[in-house]
Structure 1
Amino acid sequence: MNIFVGNLNFQTTENQLKEVFTSFGEVTSVKIVTDKFSGSSRGFAFIEMPDHTQAEKAIQELQNYSLNNRNMVVNEANQRDDNNRYNK
């Protein structure tokens, strides 16, 4: 399952996120989204967890979890369909 994590402190690292989510199960990837020009964090990330049950528990338990003095927003990520992005 792909998980969206928002409202991140710009100093948060991928290792910190992995540590938090690993307490709920296996984490296969962590990707903090960065600005393509400055390389700075944009304040959100995507976490992949292969076990759906563990991922849902993480989403429930980590909603408003404080990491680096910011309360995270945690939701199941929406699949982005690039083919239909501009056809609305």
Structure 2
Amino acid sequence: MARTLYVGNLPWTTKADDLKEAFEAYGEVISSRVITDRETGRSRGFGFVEVNDEDADKMIEALNGAELEGRVITVNEAKARE
């Protein structure tokens, strides 16, 4: 089973591979993506990482409040769109 984690307050220069690399130290990453603005193509400052269910809590605990490229990131379980 997989869970999706929300990652907020990302530096504008962060790419999906950077996100994957940061999370892989704590478990298996299935996919990662940084959300970009449709018109400008620039990062919107947040993204999502899909991880194995058993690794998710460990990743949240380790990375929520951690520093990534000079910014303190927020990591929690993603909520479904309404």
TM-score grouping bracket, smaller chain normalisation: over 0.9
Secondary structure in 2 matching 1:18: helix
Secondary structure in 2 matching 1:28: strand
Q: How does 1:1-88 map to 2 (within 5 A)?
A: 1-49=3-51, 51-81=52-82
Structure whose residues are more often strand by fraction: 2
Count of equivalent residues: 80
Deviation at 1:12, TM superposition (A): 1.0
Deviation at 1:64, TM superposition (A): 1.0
AA of the residue aligned to 1:41: S
Moved over 6 A (4+): none
User: What TM-score comes out, normalization by structure 2 length?
Assistant: 0.93
Deviation at 1:63, TM superposition (A): 0.9
AA of the residue aligned to 1:28: I
The Cα offsets for residues 13-69 of structure 1, whole Å up to 9 and x where unpaired, read as 1111101111111111101000000000000000000x2221110001101111111
Larger radius of gyration: 1
